[in-house]
Chain A
Amino acid sequence: MKITSIQKIATIIIICSGIFGLITVNGCVESKQVAAKSGAQLWGENCSRCHNMPAPATFSQEQWKTVGMHMQSRALLTNKEKDKIVEFLQQSSN
């Protein structure tokens, strides 16, 4: 496949994704199934996308809050996911 063809396809994908995002941005609501997930479950599902699941005892409660903000940005977690994961790690870190 020529690079110019790939560029066109990629451009179309980006534009379509942008339109899709704009249309759905106001309807960004989680399903009941997702809303019911615990912090432990989200910790297992999201952290392992890139690395092993971190041990809760690794950091203090305050440090987990800081790490949570850093990781929200890296993995682009939703706000609720970040809050639940940090809460779980804080509670389990004692």
Chain B
Amino acid sequence: MKPNKLITKVLLFAVFAFLKANTSIAQGTDNTDVSKQVSALKPGESNFMMVGLVTFGFVNQNITTTGLSPNKTNSIGDADRYEFSPMFLWRHGDKLLAEFEPSWDGNAIGVNWADVSYYVAPGFIVRGGYLVLPFGTYSKRLAAGWINKLPSDPYGMDMPGSDFGVEVEGGFPLGSMKWSYDIAVSNGFQLNPNGQIAGVGINAINNGKTVTGRLALLPLSNSSLEIGVSGLMGSLATPTGDSNIYNNPMASMYAVDFNFIKNINPVQINIKGQYNISNINKQTYSSPDSSLPKYSFENNASSYFAQLSLRPSKSKNKILRNFELAGRYVNYTTPKQSLWGQNYSEMDICLDYWLSWRTVIKLGYESTKSDGTTSQSVSTGLDGTSTTVNRMIIQFSTEF
């Protein structure tokens, strides 16, 4: 072989080898990039995320009670309204969702809900675990500090709260309207010696379960009006599990809720309300003073709130449209002649400034009045006494 031909062949081989190597590298790089892009676009099977809320503020209040000296207090952090609640959401595919929301109120860590939902079919969601019972709308939808347009929760709206159970729910179209259902079966409640009820927790001490449900109708095509009716029924356990203390105690509760939004340019008007009543069948209770005889009372309670808020959300002024003015009236009547009997009323007004869609600063004023209706034969402390509280609150709340 001539040297020229040999050199040419070697050079050609070298060029071929170089090109081959570069092509492989380029292809490898392309494959990696494409793989990364595809991977980024491909929907994941699972998604874990943490959101949550924090609410804190300052409160200055004057408390006046019949026969006692006025008491003034102020507190940074606002013990009755402080809340730090991270919420963990874990989605597996598009059928399974686990939710967990612990909450610290400044004194103790509790759990608002810890449940898992399976999205079986359109309009049919099944949930199990520690869940918010479907009674009214306040506890389930409106209680978060960044959603509530006023600094405090309306008194008497916290029952029945959360419980261990299973739940089915769903929403359906109905022509231009919509309707929804939400039904839960849970462990239920116990009847405490003073006639109040409390959740039995995960270790149910009664065999009877409590059924809670809500039906709602949204009659307008733009979903601006929602009317809901709720009911709860169940047998009650005794704290000790001794069923002989009471005579087949049963609880029933009912609620009606209402929500309406209307835009009258440039103002958005929102009216909300909920009315709750509860009844526990006639029982005889032991007095805390064992020397006194047993006593009885009509164990009926009712609570309601009505709320109006106005926000010039369509205003051209960028500052003005972030303000919102809210007013609310609250009433809570607990059983007369019981140890916890009172007629409570509250009037609130608040000016909100929205820093973003989920961050708000509130300047609120609340005036409450409570008249005790406890039986003097059971306790001489509260009957006839009247307590008024006037408080000013500055509050910050955000969802993160």
Interface SS of chain A: helix, strand, loop or mixed?
Answer: helix
One digit per residue, 1 when the CB lies within 8 angstroms of any chain A CB and 0 when it does not, for chain B 91-107 equals 10010010100000000
The B75-110 residues at the A interface (CB cut-off 8 A) are 89, 91, 94, 97, 99
- Which residue of chain B has the shortest Cβ distance to A35 in the bound complex? B173
Chain A residues in 8 Å Cβ range of B279 = 3, 7
Determine if B229 and A46 form an interchain contact, defined as CB atoms under 8 angstroms apart: no
A70 to B268, CA, bound (A): 26
Residue from the set A7, A25, A49 with the largest chain B CB neighbour count within 10 Å: A49
Instruction: Evaluate contact between A76 and B171: CB separation under 8 angstroms.
Output: yes
Please indicate the chain A residues that have their CB under 8 angstroms from the CB of B259 in the complex: 49-50
Interface bracket on A: 35 or more
Q: Give every chain A residue within 8 A of B122 (Cβ-Cβ).
A: 78-80
For A11, list chain B residues within 8 Å (CB).
Answer: 231, 254
**Contact yes or no, B146 A51, CB < 8 A:** yes
A22 to B125, CA, bound (A): 17
Does B179 count as interface, using CB distance less than 8 angstroms? yes
* A28-B123 contact in complex given A34-B173, A76-B170, C-beta closer than 8 Å: yes
Q: In B216-233, which residues have CB < 8 Å from any A CB?
A: 216-217, 221-224, 226, 229, 231
Residues of B within 8 A of A31 (CB): 173, 175-176, 221
Contact of B357 among A24, A28, A55 (CB under 8 A): A55
* B contacts, CB < 8 Å to A: 43-44, 47, 49, 51, 89, 91, 94, 97, 99, 117, 119, 122-123, 125, 127, 140-142, 146-147, 169-176, 178-182, 213, 215-217, 221-224, 226, 229, 231, 252, 254-256, 259, 261, 268, 277, 279, 300, 302, 354, 356-358
